[in-house]
Amino acid sequence: MDLAWKYIDDQFVQVTRDSVKRSIILSTFHNNALFTLSTKYPLLLTLYNRYHPLHLALIQSNNQRTSSGSLQQGDRLTVMQDYAAAKLLLTEEWMPVILGLHKKTSPRYLAIFPDGLKDFNRGGIDDKIEAFDVLSKNIGDEPALASIKALVDSTYASLLVVRNTQSSAKTTSSDDSTTLEDARLAAMSMQYRNMAFIVDNFYETREAMCALIFDLVTLRENPQTIFTGKVLAGESSNILAHTFLAADEVAVKIVGSGTFKLRLSSSASGTDSAAVLVTANIKQKITISAFDITNYALHRYLNVENLSGNAGSYRVQLL
């Protein structure tokens, strides 16, 4: 059996196979790096012009998939809420009317509810909805229960509508997932092709250029997620370097006294972002958008500033 030649394996596709988030991080870094460096290296403008549309497609398809998932979740809640309301009508309004005509031990009542309310409480949501249709059939053409039957029929029809809407949302979400996967493959494959371009056109400086243009830290397997260290009184310290997305979160706890500032800067000692205050000895969850930056490929350095008169120790976890 022939073995694959390792140099034709696309690492960008492989390492993002189970992580759309990683593909977006890699794509954001690469897209912004090409744009920023194209002024100094005009050759990179060609790469940027062909990569940028793929980057936008990846971002947009991810946003669409996220939106579809939210809508699907909303539709699911609507189905469950409507079903709960329908069941409440059954137990509190319709059943008393039926019991007023037929005792619970009578053959007629048992014909209408042969298993009591079990069918309305077991199985999946589709089985529970179908129980209303079965109830309508069991009521049949009894004149005294005609108005109840009409209510049961209209409730069943209404539940079918919202259920079908949810099913449609599932299909849309599935379609969006397929579109997102296609966008991931297109963007990551283009990064692989761009790497070949860099090696060919910047051969003598290929190592330095690849480090500038590709997020090699994120590209590696099993990235570090927990960072610990100390920061002296009145001083600043770099905690980590990482390419974040606006919606990413970190959990931070600083043991010490007083207050500390976190910034997401463009350098290991920079202060060019909004500051997020962290109170000592309290674990906080911080969303990266709180740093109020726009270039997530440039602002990669999470720094801590100790505003107190004593040293502190930190623990930061990427969530």
Residues, the chain: 319
Mean pLDDT of 257-277: 85
Tokens of 29: 């870094």
Residue 177: predicted pLDDT: 66
3-state secondary structure of 100: helix
161 and 208 in a common domain: yes
Tokens of 2: 């022939």
Q: Mean pLDDT in the chain?
A: 80
Expressed as residue numbers, the domain containing 125 is 8-221
Phi first, then psi, for residue 24 (nearest 5°) are -70, -40
pLDDT digits (tens, 9 = 90+) for 177-187: 677 888 888 99
Mean pLDDT of 41-64: 85
Q: Alpha-carbon distance 211 to 208, whole Å?
A: 5
Strand partners, 238: 303
133 inside domain? yes
Tokens of 9: 């394996």
Q: Alpha-carbon distance 142 to 260, whole Å?
A: 75
Residue 41: predicted pLDDT: 92
133 and 259 in a common domain: no
| CATH code (residue 260) | 2.60.120
143 and 268 in a common domain: no
Q: What is the DSSP annotation of 172-213?
A: HHHHHHHHHHHHHHHHHHHHHHHHHHHHHHSGGGHHHHHHHH
C-alpha 75 chain-centroid distance: 18
182 and 39 in a common domain: yes
Q: Alpha-carbon distance 303 to 144, whole Å?
A: 76
19 and 119 in a common domain: yes
237 and 248 in a common domain: yes
159 and 45 in a common domain: yes
Among 221, 245, 272, residue at a domain's last position = 221
Identify the residue with better confidence: 262 or 71.
262
130: pLDDT confidence band, cut at 50, 70 and 90? confident
Residue 194: predicted pLDDT: 92
Q: Alpha-carbon distance 82 to 318, whole Å?
A: 39
- Tell me the CA distances in angstroms from 1 to 4, 71, 283, one per residue in order: 10, 48, 54
274 and 172 in a common domain: no
Mean pLDDT of 17-36: 81
Residue 222: predicted pLDDT: 60
150 and 49 in a common domain: yes
44: pLDDT confidence band, cut at 50, 70 and 90? very high
Specify burial of residue 184 (Cβ count, 10 A radius: 0-12, 13-18, 19+): buried
Q: What is the pTM of this model?
A: 0.43
Residue 72: predicted pLDDT: 44
Among 171, 205, 221, residue at a domain's last position = 221
Stated as kind and residue range, the H or E segment containing 166 is helix 146-201
65 and 16 in a common domain: yes
Q: Is the pLDDT of residue 71 over 80?
A: no
Task: Report how many domains make up the chain.
Answer: 2
Q: Alpha-carbon distance 228 to 300, whole Å?
A: 17
Look at the block and give the residue holding tokens 């593909």.
Answer: 23
Among 221, 252, 283, residue at a domain's last position = 221
Mean pLDDT of 166-175: 50
Do residues 224 and 216 touch, judged by C-beta distance below 8 A?
Answer: no
Residue 68: predicted pLDDT: 46
pLDDT digits (tens, 9 = 90+) for 280-316: 888 888 888 888 887 777 788 888 888 888 888 888 8
* E strands present in the chain: 226-231, 236-241, 249-255, 259-265, 276-279, 284-287, 301-306, 312-318
Angle, CA of 51, 55 and 60, to the nearest 5°:
150
117 and 47 in a common domain: yes
113 and 23 in a common domain: yes
66: pLDDT confidence band, cut at 50, 70 and 90? low
Q: Is the pLDDT of residue 176 over 50?
A: yes
Q: Alpha-carbon distance 171 to 182, whole Å?
A: 17
Residue 3: predicted pLDDT: 57
| DSSP one-letter code for 300 | -
Q: Alpha-carbon distance 76 to 72, whole Å?
A: 6
